[in-house]
Amino acid sequence: MDKERVKKLVRELIIEIGEDPTREGLKDTPQRIANMYEEIFGGYESDSELSVQFSEDSDVVVARNIQFYSMCEHHMLPFFGKIHIAYSPNGRVFGISKLVRLVEKYSKRLQIQERLTKNIADELFAQGVKGVVVLADAEHLCMKMRGVRNDATLTSSAYRGIYENKEEKESIMTMIRRRTPE
């Protein structure tokens, strides 16, 4: 990303809004926005490194409540929430940090929740697991701040491999939704 160009564009936007980009509270805003965009859109440059796995077998691995933040590609406003990932290994398991990095890889982009869910499931399934489920629950500021102005939460899901079977799907969804002891 060309941060100098982003700074120039943000300065122009501030002027278009009707503000003075040289006033005290705004003079450093173009730099702050350029730095922020470099961070929150870092998923385009990310490598999730899923190739690093451990020899181990388990019937199912579930990672719940992976926090994510993303930007709606339609309005460029944040959406955020929790992603739950379940997969059935095929002799190899991923470290939890790899799953978190995978979520970050796809969430730190201009995105829609449904594609985010699908991208994560597709990349995990491509690693040779028997099946994968990705469930995302999110709040969308583009819906809260404008338009319908409603606090509804959106849930999206993606199923691959053995979890496309109805019985397996029901079983794994029960496991994902199970509350953990506090």
Active-site positions read 72-75, 113, 140, 142
CA separation (Å) from 55 to 52, 93, 95, 106, 129?
Answer: 10, 7, 11, 26, 13
Radius of gyration for the chain, computed over Cα atoms and rounded to the nearest angstrom? 19
Report the alpha-carbon distance of residue 123 to residue 100 in Å, rounded: 13
DSSP symbol at 149:
-
Contact 175, 62 (CB under 8 A): yes
Tell me how crowded residue 14 is: count the other CB atoms within 10 A of its CB. 19
